[in-house]
Amino acid sequence: MILNFKDIYLAAAGGLLIGIATSIHYLLKGRVTGFSGIFYSLITFDKNSFYWKLSLMSSVVLSSSLLFKFYGFTPILEGASPSFDPINQISKIGYIGAAIAGFLVGFGTKLGNGCTSGHGVCGLPRLSVRSMAAVASFMTFGILTATLKDQLVLEQPTKLLIDNVDMTNTLAMIISGILTLVGIIGQTKQNKKTMIDAIISSVVGLVFGAGLVVSGMAKRSKILGFLTFNKSWDPSLMFVMMGAVSLNLITFNLLEKPILSDKWDLPTNKKIDFKLILGASIFGIGWGIGGLCPGPAFSLFPQFTAQIAAVFLPCLALGQINANKFSQYLDQKSKSN
């Protein structure tokens, strides 16, 4: 076991930032901040939510870019581990690994209706039994998969297509900043009364992105170090969830209705069913292979690698689209029976 108390402190602080971000969204608009659902709405161009979700996701990238510009590969606190993984640590997933992991994460999060943010950070504080079951499933399969993969030594150094991190970070900063503004302007043009949705979402994304970086969730090495049970097991990421969930347990139960909305916009399905457990388990396998879920994957855009940007994320989208079709098939089969 590796214990670095500076890392534990940062993990808890980052978890609190993630909790603050999700609490802002929940208290003001009554929404769960689930990144797998946000990603699916973006790839399917959901007309009712596309622009504010574009602002939220883009501002996560912008936040990560700004922090990378400031800290680079140096620690946020002296004595802590570096703020970001070296590029070769990210690319070690390989193209095949990125494709498999991306597809499984996409398929699993769509079929199971959530990932670490939706079910974990936002579901557990609401005392959702579905989220409890989902978290138990994806944690179990994530740990088993990562530990088995570690024994097989599947990851190898991969040649980089682009090896200029300063350039890619600057581009990520500019593009994500523009897309954040596009989301705000688009939401305003769609309905002036809902411009505040995109503004709130931008703030949520900026704070959430900062939480990912500060906590270590933007590093594959940290996530896999937590999921892999061996003599070098790193427990620090436990404190990310503890920080976020502890805060949200308080804030999610403060109000009878959201401040800027007439009602809560929350999942209504409370049943623990086959799709939930299967989806969460598949997500856990993909998470154990890749060490990434949708939010952290986007926070890696400043450190551009083809494995993540050009393989993992497109395969994640493909997995979600196929999971939606599979879910419809299961629903039709259930009705026919």
From residue 313, give the alpha-carbon distance in Å to each of 225, 236, 267, 333.
Answer: 22, 26, 25, 30
pLDDT at 90: 85
Of 214, 227, 211, which is closest to residue 284 (Cα–Cα)?
227
| Low-confidence stretches of the chain (pLDDT beneath 70) | 1, 153-163, 337
Axis crossing angle, helix 274-290 with helix 220-227, rounded to the nearest 10: 120
d(CA 292, CA 224): 9
| DSSP code, position 157 | -
Single-letter code of the amino acid located at 233: W
Q: Given this model, what pLDDT does residue 160 score? A: 59
In 3D space, the residue among 226, 270, 214 whose CA is nearest the CA of residue 83 turns out to be 214
Q: Residue 118 in contact with residue 181, Cβ under 8 Å?
A: no
Q: How many CB atoms lie within 10 A of CB 224?
A: 25
Give pLDDT, residue 154.
63
Give the model's pLDDT for residue 179: 97
Q: How far apart are CA 230 and CA 225, in angstroms?
A: 9
Burial class (CB in 10 A: 0-12, 13-18, 19+), 109: buried
Report pLDDT for 89: 81
- pTM for this model (two decimals): 0.94
Here the tokens at position 170 are 């600057």
Neighbours of 185 (CB within 10 A): 14
Q: Which residue reads 């971000």 in tokens?
A: 21
Give pLDDT, residue 161: 58
DSSP 151-188: HHT-------S---HHHHHHHHHHHHHHHHHHHHHHHH
Give the three-state DSSP class for 265.
strand
Pairwise CA distance, residues 163 & 168, whole Å: 9
What are the CA-CA distances from residue 162 to residues 59, 167, 212, 302 (Å)?
A: 23, 10, 24, 12
CA dist., res. 46 & res. 171, Å (int): 26
pLDDT tens sequence across 121-148 = 999 999 999 999 999 999 999 999 999 9
